[in-house]
Structure 1
Amino acid sequence: MTVQDHPGLALTDYQIDGDFAQDDRPAIGVVVALWSPNLSQHAAQTMHDLTMTTVQTVRDTGGRPVVIDSSDTATQARGTAWQDEVDAIVYLGGADVHPGFYSEVDLAEQQKGIDQNADQFCLHSLQRAITEDAPVLGICRGSQLLNVAMGGSIIQHIDGHRAELASGDTGFIDETLELQADSKIATILGRTTVGVRGSHHQTIDEVGSGLDVTAHAPDGTIEGVEHRDKTWVVGLQWHPEEANANAEDRRKIFAALVAQSVPVL
C-alpha cells in the first residue's frame, strides 16, 4: 500500500510505518473527511484528535488502520476500489449529511460543513460494505450515513445534545443512554445503561431498511442502530473515541470490530 495507491491518506499526521506492513493483522479502513467547507480551527483540531484516537485504538486492539480521506478528490475518483484492501470499516463523525440524500426539505440555516461529494463517496462505500457483509462501525455522522444508505432519514436539527461554545463552535457533553438488552452494543459493553460523550445536532429520524434501534437518550432521541440481517453492522450516535469517553468501553467496541475482521487472503 503506497501514497500513490491511496492519495487521500494523511500519512504524516495519522499513520505510522507499521500501518503499511503486510502482516496478519486485519486492515481497518478509517473513513473521515479531513476537510469540509467552512471548517473552523477548533473543528479541524477536534477531527484530528478523534481520528488520532481512533487509529491508535485500532492498533491497540490488534488491527492495522488505513485512513481514507473522504473529502479528497483523488480518493473520491477511485470509488470503492480501496475496499478490496480492508477487512472492516469505521466511518467517523464530521459534517452534516446533505439533505438531498434523504429529504426534499433543506433547513439551510442549520446545516454545517456540507460536502455532497464526500457524502456520495461514503454512501456508495457503505452500500458496498453492507452488500458484502463487511464489519462496519459508524460513529456519529457515520451512524447517520449508515441510516441514509439504508433508505432512512435524519432529523436536521435538535437541541440539547451538544455544548455551544462562546467561540461559536460546538463541544461534547456527558449523556446517559439506555441500550437494548439483546443488542450487540449492550453485549459488548456488558450493561444496558451507559454514560457516553456526545456532540450532535442531528440524529436518525425514519429508520432505514434492515436496521433496528439499539440505543435511546432519555428524551427519546435515537442514539444507536444495528443491522438485523448482517453479521456486524453497528451505528453509534455518540463518540467512544472522544478523549474523555470511557476508555474501557472504547477498547471493547474497537476490539469487537477487529475480532470480526478476517484478513483478506
Structure 2
Amino acid sequence: MIKVITSGMYTSIQDNGRFGYRDIGVPISGAMDANSATLANILVGNISTAAVLECTVTGASLLFKKEVKIAITGGNCDAYVDKKQISFNTVISIPEGSTLTLGRITKGLRTYIAVRGGIASEVILGSRCQYKGITSEEKIKKGTILPIASEVSENLDTSIDITHSTLLEAGIISVYRGPEFEELIPSSQKKISEADFIITSESNRMATFLKSNFSFSAPEIITSPVQPGTVQLTPSGQFIVLMRDAQTTGGYARILQLSEIAICHLAQVRPGKSITFKLLE
C-alpha cells in the first residue's frame, strides 16, 4: 500500500472515466491528459484504464509500504526516491519503505504517477475517478492510504517508443467547428483563427476559461448536450472550454469542439499562457 505524506496542490485518483451516466447528469471525469495517463499505465504493464494519480501544479510525496514499479509521465518536475533523482517516461523500481517526492511542475501543468497494478480506490458507478458529490473525497489528502490493485496486462513492456508528448511548445490547439459556429458573423469566424487566447486562473478540471483582446459574442441557445472539449461562447464574449469534469448540458453557443488529443494538449497549458485555435476541416 501507499501512504500520502503530502498531497500537493491538487492530486486526485483518475482512470479513463465514468461512462453511461450522463443521462442523469454525471460527468465523465477521467485523467485530464489521458494520453500521459495511458502511457504511464502501459509502461508499468497495467491495463490502460487502471487508476493513476494526477498531480496538478505541484507533486505529492508518497511512502511505499511494499516494493513496487512505477512510471511518471506528463508535466515535468523534479522527482526523487529517497533524495535520488529519477527519470520520467520509464519504469522505476521503488524499494519497500522508500519515499517518492515530486516537486513543482515546471513544464506543463499535470503529472501522472502509475503504480504497477493500479490504485485500488473505491469504485463508484463503474469508475475510481474522484469527483465531489460522487466519491467520498474529491482528491487525496495527507494521511490517505492507497491500496494497490492488480489490474495488470500480461507483459511488462519497458521498451516503448515515446514519440508523442502532450506538452505543447507553440500553444496551437486543433479544433473543429461546433454546432453553432455558423451563427457567428463572418468577421468573428475569421478572428477565431487569428486571436491569441490567454488561459485564466479560474480554470480547473471542469473548464478552461479563456480571454482575448478581440471582441466576440454569441446568443444563448436552448439547453443542449455538451461534452468534454466543447468550446462555449457566452453573450458577454467569454470562451469556456469544457473539460473532463464538465456538466452534461449547457445553454451557451457551442462554437468549437476539441478532439481527444487536443483536450490532452490543453490540459497541460498553464494559466497565464496563450493558445491559438487551428480550425480543421
Bigger proportion of residues as strand: 2
After TM superposition, the score normalised by the length of structure 1 is 0.24
Relative to the length of structure 2, the TM-score reads 0.23
Q: Which has more radius of gyration?
A: 2
Higher helix share: 1
